Amino acid sequence: MRPVSGGVAGGMVFDKHRDFIAELLTRYPVKRSAILPLLNLAQREEGCVSQAAMREIADLLDLTPPQVFETATFYTMLSLKPRGTFHVQVCRSLMCALVGADDLLAWLRAHLEPGADGATADGRFTISTVECLGSCATGPMMQINDDYYEQLTRDKVGRIVNDLKQTGDCALKSGPFMMPERK
């Protein structure tokens, strides 16, 4: 593996992000703490976390590939296999379950007919269930790619799916999750 700027090793997956990675590593007193931002970068760059990316991250952070694998397989926002264009993550935790998450999930599955891996045949949607996304007061809710959709009903979910199919976007999104500001 050839050296890159700032003495940081780089490889095929991260080649064009060498400067960003060099800067990223300066933010952490312990190199291994950069594992999540690097896994997130791999996910966004390739649509999944490939074995090549995991090997590169291990090299960069002086970890073993199994240590990187353990982390990559723990978080639902990361995937070892490519996902559909729209990753639909339906919260299945208690507060959302109490207000109808199961019904919406069943509706989604009946209408999009994903395979056993959660992906639709056209590659547009992958449906996953995830644990609490921190938006319990506005359930049932789901996250699609980076955006939250809250206080869902069947009608809203139908409109969201149709809008995403037709335009790639939907005005019903609340946007990315933001921590409430402290007053």
| Interface residues toward ligand FES, by CB under 6 A | 91, 93-96, 132-136, 139, 141
Is the Cβ of residue 80 or residue 172 nearer to ligand FES in the bound state? 172
Residue with token string 């264009």 = 85
Q: How far is CA 32 from CA 22, 26, 67, 71, in A?
A: 13, 12, 10, 11
Is the Cβ of residue 96 or residue 105 nearer to ligand FES in the bound state? 96
**Partners of 91 in the β-ladder:** 130
From CA 149, how far away is CA 173, in angstroms rounded? 5
Query: Minimal distance in Å, beta carbon 131 to ligand FES?
Result: 8
Query: Minimal distance in Å, beta carbon 153 to ligand FES?
Result: 15
Query: Minimal distance in Å, beta carbon 4 to ligand FES?
Result: 40
3-state DSSP call for residue 14?
coil
Is the Cβ of residue 56 or residue 150 nearer to ligand FES in the bound state? 150
Is the Cβ of residue 85 or residue 151 nearer to ligand FES in the bound state? 151
Query: Minimal distance in Å, beta carbon 82 to ligand FES?
Result: 26
In the chain the beta strands, taken as DSSP E runs, fall at 86-91, 125-130, 142-144, 147-149
